[in-house]
Amino acid sequence: MAAWCALPPGRPMTDEYESEQVRIAVGTGVMGGYLARPSAPGRYPGVLLAHQLFGVTADIRGFADRLAGLGYVALAPDFYHRSASGVELPTTDEGRERGFALMKEMTRDGVLADMRAAAAHLGGRAEVRTVTGVLGVSLGGHLAYLAATRLAVPVTLVLYAGWLTGTEIPVSTPEPTLDLTGGITGRVVYVVGERDHVVPAADRDRIADRLAAAGVSHEVVVVPGVPQ
């Protein structure tokens, strides 16, 4: 996938990695997270991984493990921690309903505070030489885009992110997250399915046009025939 090529190279791919649960101080509270890193001693680039609607699930942990296998230290914070910690929802109608309810309790200020705390935790680890990028999936793609507007991150990978152009969710208020594009200083790769019902072609065009107008180095990748 083109998105993988957007990240600066880590080290040669290996199946040898380690993982752990971490606790990150955020204001007066604590946010959990899943961290995966290569087993071999050394200092590696760090990547923040923003979870989808269902929380830090096995899929997200597997994504972090894959990044560790590619030579990165990957941290997936629990962005739902203010409402309920350790959320891992099933991909059922009930899980989706609960996920939407939790998403509606998230705030822009809260997400940005969490991103800054997670970036500081990751960058402060002995095995991390620099925080290279933020990668987000679905809802997490929206959070990654938001983070790119306020954090000096070299590369942001936005996978299948919706609601950037409107104010349907609290994180995209008071103005649409897309309107914050001028604050992006790094490169953005936006990947979306051709038939994604949350991101119609008109929205894809608006996102690409806004990135271009802001002078942001970017690539918009439309995956043919993919619904989301």
Residues 6+ apart with CB under 8 A from 52: 59, 60, 137, 138, 139, 140
The pLDDT-based confidence of 4 (bands split at 50, 70, 90) is very low
Nearest to 160 by CA among 202, 208, 193: 193
Q: Is 1 exposed, middle or buried (0-12, 13-18, 19+ CB in 10 A)?
A: exposed
The pLDDT-based confidence of 48 (bands split at 50, 70, 90) is very high
The pLDDT-based confidence of 28 (bands split at 50, 70, 90) is confident
The pLDDT-based confidence of 5 (bands split at 50, 70, 90) is very low
Residue 90 structure tokens = 């099933």
What angle (nearest 5°) sits at the alpha carbon of residue 221, between those of residues 208 and 6?
100
Does pLDDT of 178 surpass 70? yes
The pLDDT-based confidence of 225 (bands split at 50, 70, 90) is confident
Does pLDDT of 33 surpass 80? yes
Q: Span 174-197, mean pLDDT?
A: 96
The confidence score (pLDDT) of residue 51 equals 98
User: pLDDT exceeding 90 applies to what percent of the chain?
Assistant: 88
> Strands 73-77 and 17-26: what pairing?
unpaired
Select the more confidently predicted residue: 180 or 4. 180
What separation, in Å, do the N-terminal and C-terminal C-alpha atoms of the chain show? 15
The pLDDT-based confidence of 10 (bands split at 50, 70, 90) is low
In tens, the pLDDT along 70-100 reads: 999 999 999 999 999 999 999 999 999 999 9
Does pLDDT of 103 surpass 80? yes
Distance CA 60, CA 51 (A): 6
Does pLDDT of 114 surpass 50? yes
In tens, the pLDDT along 123-150 reads: 999 999 999 999 999 999 999 999 999 9
Block residue for tokens 């992110």: 161
Does pLDDT of 14 surpass 90? no
DSSP helix/strand/coil, 35: strand
Q: Span 35-55, mean pLDDT?
A: 97
User: pLDDT exceeding 70 applies to what percent of the chain?
Assistant: 93
Return the CA Rg of the chain: 16
